[in-house]
Structure 1
Amino acid sequence: MSRHKQQMNGPKRGLAFIGVAALLFALVGVGWAHFDHRLPSNATLLHSGSEVTVGLDSQAPQSLDIRTVRGKELDQALIGNVYETLVGRDQNNKLVPSIAKSWDVSKDGLNYTFTLNSDMRFANGDALDSTDVVYSLQQILNKNYAGAEDLTGLKSVKNPDVSTVQIALSAPNPRLLRALSSRAGIIYDSTSSVNYTRQSGGSGPFTVHSFNPGNSIVLSRNPLYWKQQSATSQITLRYFDSVETLNKAMQSGEIQLAVLRPTDSPKSFEDNKKYTVSKGLTTSKVTLALNSSADALFSDEHTRWAVRYILDNTAITRDQPNAATVLNGPISPLEPGYDDLSALYPHNLSEGENDINYYKRQYVGDNTFLVPQEYESLGQEVVKQFAPTNFHLVMQVVDDNTLNQRIANGDYSMAIVTMQGPDDLGAFANGRFGYQNSQAQQDYRNALASPNDIDYQRNLRAYAKTVSADAGSAWFYTESSMVVADTNVTGYPKNMTDEFLPLRDVRTK
């Protein structure tokens, strides 16, 4: 009898042990999931063994300190990947929820209330809440970190509870939300001590696994990410000094994804059937600046009109390999306030000749035409277009420093420049090229004083139309955002990759 009980109780004790162990495991799992918000409910490791190497034709960072190091390289590599911002933006440059799931703006544009997501965390497991948002904004302003210049008029920042942040302004700043989707909006861990030059302390889908200054950055999946996990366990960013070396790395299989500069030509990649070449949009505008200073040729509106009619920017856009869309004003399709202004000056060589022939050849004279080295072929095309007219262009190919200095000194007649960002947008209101127009200045002041985004965009459209109608400049095109991928790589971004490169969804098939 006792032997039979022992035989029967053995399996029972085993089942009881398994049951207790399962219960303990469940309790530990529940406890861990709630401990300090460390484990997100969606922490599944997708494609856990996959790796992708991305090559960039870009200057390699020497430091990872996104707080202090200027330049787009760190924005491109880290924002949206390692660091998240209070407000986000999508691939069409539209504002979207990020750390803040929603926001409300008062009618006078002076008070912003942000409602944060819950159960957020940094990569080290620390909870992310309104305290970190307040801390981050205060640090950016007090220590003049990169982005501080975009927080104009900020009077106070408060957090009445863990999920609410209130910002008060002394004057309307309709660009505030967009600023909070870039450097000015990065949220740092208020309780963590990080060596930002070589490490990371963000809340994004990746962490910095290793950093080789001037060469590469290795990003690893953040298993504690509070939203959808990255599709790839590791992404290596490698930097190359030219599009040619980038192409060789693709051919050898060293990289699976190549991110080109907006000035690069994709032709060397397009003939290889192993690659998919994607061309998206950037906010970079290739512009023909006209010296409109008081004693310069283009101070006269008729000469500016002539340039607009003579220039065939549609043909140029078609022939330039890095061109995306024809541009006829100071705002590109991905920027707030864009309007199609192509009807203002349709290409008409006869009309342009009539405008310029009003003046004697001696008055028009020889015109110094400055061209950056990377736009030499574009400059040659412009010279050809102006050849049948009384405009005689003397093209000079210069480096960027020389170009900027000579424009500042007014030592030019025409120049090819690239324009990007809010500061460049105001160039035709602040006389950067000697251009003066009181209506444009008023339109721009109205835009900056707008209490909301709707008024801001309406006033920007008025500003752009005033400048374009008065031929304050001539415009060529917006540059392409170009990505080349092996055919088995998916999930990569296509727009604005020169400044914004979210890699969470990148994976191999």
Structure 2
Amino acid sequence: MSLKTSLTLALAGLMMTSAAALAQPTEIKIGVAFEPPALDPTAGAAEAIDVVVYQNVFEGLVRIDKDGAVQPGLAESWTVSDDGLNYSFKLHDGVTFHDGSAFDAEDVKFTFDRILAEDSVNAQKALYAPIASVEVVDPLTVDITLSRPDGLFLFNIGRGDAVIVAPESADNNATDPIGTGPFAFVQWDRGSRVILEQYGPYWGDKPALTRASFVFIGDTGAMTNALLAGDIDGTNNFAAEALPVFEGNPQFKVLVGLTEGETILATNNRKAPFDNLLVRQAMAHALDREEIIEGATYGYGAPIGTHFAPQNPDYLDLTGTYPHDVEKAKALLAEAGYPDGFSATLKLPPVAYARLSGQIIASQFAEVGIKLELVNAEFAQWLEDVFANKDFDLTIISHVEPFDIGIYANPDYYFGYDNPEFQALNETLTATTDAAERTKLVQQMQTIIAEDAVNGYLFELAQTGVWNAKLEGMWPNSPVEGVVLRDIHWTE
């Protein structure tokens, strides 16, 4: 071999090595706090399921984007009848499931028939109750007929609960999920991680990432160490108290946004003295939201005055309805027949924002004469006592379902609010599809529950992500549950 040839080969090797060193990585490791109990979002309520698979492994007829808007998904387009009862969806051609089987209208019909079946275990089955029939017109056209207009129908079929599954694989999706999304399931190392890889024949735009691992790390200290050591590349929702470790560090970026989690001092409206509006108004005046937000969320989160997400364009700022006023609270208690206050219990689930908020609220209520006994409960006990048996005075919880103001129309719901005017407005809202009219109605509903002080409205739970500074495309807000990978990519 000549000297010239040797030098040429050496230079070529050096160039290849340099190119490889400069090539952008295409894999990502994401730390998540909870391991999902299963991987089928149509058969489980846990948010941890959607965090891993929503819009990654599974897709719906439509999808929800980072701003909470409805976008085309497996359906490339749709038309709606004038009466708002019939939706005709035109499906993308050439779509396959990850096992290679073809996607068509029969899969759509199977999916919704399964959701509505008598033995369905879908956590949000009630959302799809307006569906009267699903008809296959041809392999790429499906018609869905509703029994009544539903202004949230398109949004609801874009949720993880309504992703499209195939009859051949649906029964195994809990452990071996097979969808149509840009990433296919590879393996689940129980207690450790779930691995996804880019699906080569994906019908849509190819994501920049080729591989994603969701690593389960439940401890804040362990998550911090994993981030600092580079064992993971980011996490979608990090503990607020540990964020100062990463703020100002050029190796990381902190993304602060909001979830759909309205955090409330839930009140048993069916039980004395909370069935008295004056008492509820007094409690509302006793609350100092800013102190609660600072102490329970380290300043993250947004104050709310009603049960509605402040990032929603239809949100009405009602935080001034009952401003913090200790003397006003005392006067209202006296007017209600409790000049010396009263005693009550505050049952708290095992989440930091609830336990910390509980301590602060107990101190604030003590100023007006309300003595709270804090009762800590594990989630199973909390669900049984509070949610199922309604055996509670007060509790603190975040309601994370999008657009769930309709729960106030159910007098059997755990906080027991029974207002026929609100119920009638909710019925009208459900049947209304005109955007301007829906805004008017939902703002009326927000105002009613704020003025009735049904619950103590505290703050919208924040989403605080910590990511490698070279990553882009993560969602700052969380309009639906999930860590959507399609737009995430590495930069130089």
User: One-letter code of the match for 2:462?
Assistant: S
1:53 pairs with 2:32: no
SS for the counterpart of 1:52 is: strand
SS for the counterpart of 2:301 is: strand
Over 3 Å counting, the alpha-carbon distance change for 1:498 and 1:461 in structure 2 is closer
- Is the Cα–Cα contact under 8 Å of residues 340 and 369 in structure 2 kept in the other structure? no
- Is the Cα–Cα contact under 8 Å of residues 89 and 95 in structure 1 kept in the other structure? yes
Percent of aligned pairs with the same amino acid: 25
Over 3 Å counting, the alpha-carbon distance change for 1:133 and 1:234 in structure 2 is same
Q: 1 CA distance for matches of 2:240 and 2:101?
A: 41
| TM superposition shift of 1:180 | 0.7
- The structure 1 residue matched to 2:376, chosen from 397, 415, 420, is 397
Partner of 2:291: 315
Q: 1 CA distance for matches of 2:398 and 2:433?
A: 30
The residue correspondences of 1:139-158 to structure 2 (distance < 5 A) are 139-142=114-117, 144-146=120-122, 147-158=124-135
Partner of 1:332: 309
| TM superposition shift of 1:269 | 4.0
1:128 pairs with 2:103: yes
- The structure 1 residue matched to 2:64, chosen from 65, 70, 89, is 89
Partner of 1:212: 189
| TM superposition shift of 1:494 | 2.0
Q: 1 CA distance for matches of 2:176 and 2:62?
A: 23
1:78 pairs with 2:53: yes
Partner of 1:113: 88
Partner of 1:377: 356
Spell out, residue by residue over 1:403-457, the C-alpha distance to the aligned partner (whole angstroms, 9 max, x if none): 3344355544322122232695334322332333222222222223335555444
Partner of 1:300: 276
* Range that drifts further, 357-366 or 234-243: 357-366
Q: Report the TM-score, using the length of structure 1 for normalisation.
A: 0.82
Q: 2 CA distance for matches of 1:50 and 1:123?
A: 20
Q: 1 CA distance for matches of 2:179 and 2:67?
A: 24
- The structure 2 residue matched to 1:161, chosen from 126, 132, 138, is 138
Q: 1 CA distance for matches of 2:162 and 2:395?
A: 35
- Is the Cα–Cα contact under 8 Å of residues 280 and 482 in structure 1 kept in the other structure? yes
| TM superposition shift of 1:229 | 0.9
The residue correspondences of 1:183-202 to structure 2 (distance < 5 A) are 183-189=160-166, 195-202=172-179
- Is the Cα–Cα contact under 8 Å of residues 88 and 96 in structure 1 kept in the other structure? yes
Spell out, residue by residue over 1:171-230, the C-alpha distance to the aligned partner (whole angstroms, 9 max, x if none): 233332122112343123456688434433221111112222332111111121222211
The residue correspondences of 1:229-244 to structure 2 (distance < 5 A) are 229-244=206-221
Over 3 Å counting, the alpha-carbon distance change for 1:231 and 1:337 in structure 2 is same
1:173 pairs with 2:168: no
Task: Please report the RMSD computed on the Cα atoms of aligned residues, expressed in angstroms.
Answer: 2.8
Partner of 2:19: none
Over 3 Å counting, the alpha-carbon distance change for 1:424 and 1:61 in structure 2 is same
Partner of 2:489: 507
| TM superposition shift of 1:496 | 1.5
Q: 1 CA distance for matches of 2:390 and 2:40?
A: 36
User: One-letter code of the match for 1:393?
Assistant: L
Q: 1 CA distance for matches of 2:389 and 2:164?
A: 40
Partner of 2:395: 415
1:441 pairs with 2:423: yes
| TM superposition shift of 1:344 | 2.0
Q: 2 CA distance for matches of 1:132 and 1:202?
A: 11
Q: For the pair shown, which has the larger CA radius of gyration, 1 or 2?
A: 1
What are structure 1's unaligned runs of at least 5 residues?
1-46
Partner of 2:408: 428
- Is the Cα–Cα contact under 8 Å of residues 290 and 433 in structure 1 kept in the other structure? yes
Q: Report the TM-score, using the length of structure 2 for normalisation.
A: 0.84
Over 3 Å counting, the alpha-carbon distance change for 1:74 and 1:359 in structure 2 is closer
Q: 2 CA distance for matches of 1:315 and 1:379?
A: 12
Partner of 1:342: 319
Q: 2 CA distance for matches of 1:236 and 1:164?
A: 35
Partner of 2:18: none
Partner of 1:41: none
Q: 1 CA distance for matches of 2:170 and 2:65?
A: 31
The residue correspondences of 1:238-257 to structure 2 (distance < 5 A) are 238-257=215-234
The residue correspondences of 1:468-487 to structure 2 (distance < 5 A) are 468-487=450-469
Partner of 2:266: 289
The size of the alignment, in residue pairs, is 461
Q: 1 CA distance for matches of 2:323 and 2:55?
A: 40
| TM superposition shift of 1:89 | 0.6
* Range that drifts further, 479-488 or 368-377: 368-377
What are structure 2's unaligned runs of at least 5 residues?
1-22
Partner of 1:100: 75
| TM superposition shift of 1:472 | 1.1
SS for the counterpart of 1:366 is: strand
Q: 2 CA distance for matches of 1:286 and 1:99?
A: 34
Q: 2 CA distance for matches of 1:81 and 1:393?
A: 45
Q: 1 CA distance for matches of 2:426 and 2:239?
A: 28
- Is the Cα–Cα contact under 8 Å of residues 87 and 180 in structure 1 kept in the other structure? yes
Over 3 Å counting, the alpha-carbon distance change for 1:107 and 1:307 in structure 2 is farther
SS for the counterpart of 1:426 is: helix
Spell out, residue by residue over 1:12-67, the C-alpha distance to the aligned partner (whole angstroms, 9 max, x if none): xxxxxxxxxxxxxxxxxxxxxxxxxxxxxxxxxxx786211111011x13543444
User: One-letter code of the match for 2:179?
Assistant: G
Q: 1 CA distance for matches of 2:28 and 2:44?
A: 26
- The structure 2 residue matched to 1:494, chosen from 466, 476, 489, is 476
Partner of 1:228: 205
| TM superposition shift of 1:126 | 4.2
Q: 1 CA distance for matches of 2:315 and 2:302?
A: 13
| TM superposition shift of 1:361 | 4.7
| TM superposition shift of 1:69 | 3.8
Over 3 Å counting, the alpha-carbon distance change for 1:406 and 1:197 in structure 2 is closer
| TM superposition shift of 1:359 | 4.6
Over 3 Å counting, the alpha-carbon distance change for 1:95 and 1:497 in structure 2 is closer
SS for the counterpart of 1:297 is: coil
Q: 2 CA distance for matches of 1:422 and 1:235?
A: 26
* Range that drifts further, 372-381 or 139-148: 139-148
| TM superposition shift of 1:476 | 0.5
* Range that drifts further, 66-75 or 139-148: 139-148
* Range that drifts further, 420-429 or 239-248: 420-429
| TM superposition shift of 1:80 | 0.5
User: One-letter code of the match for 1:165?
Assistant: V
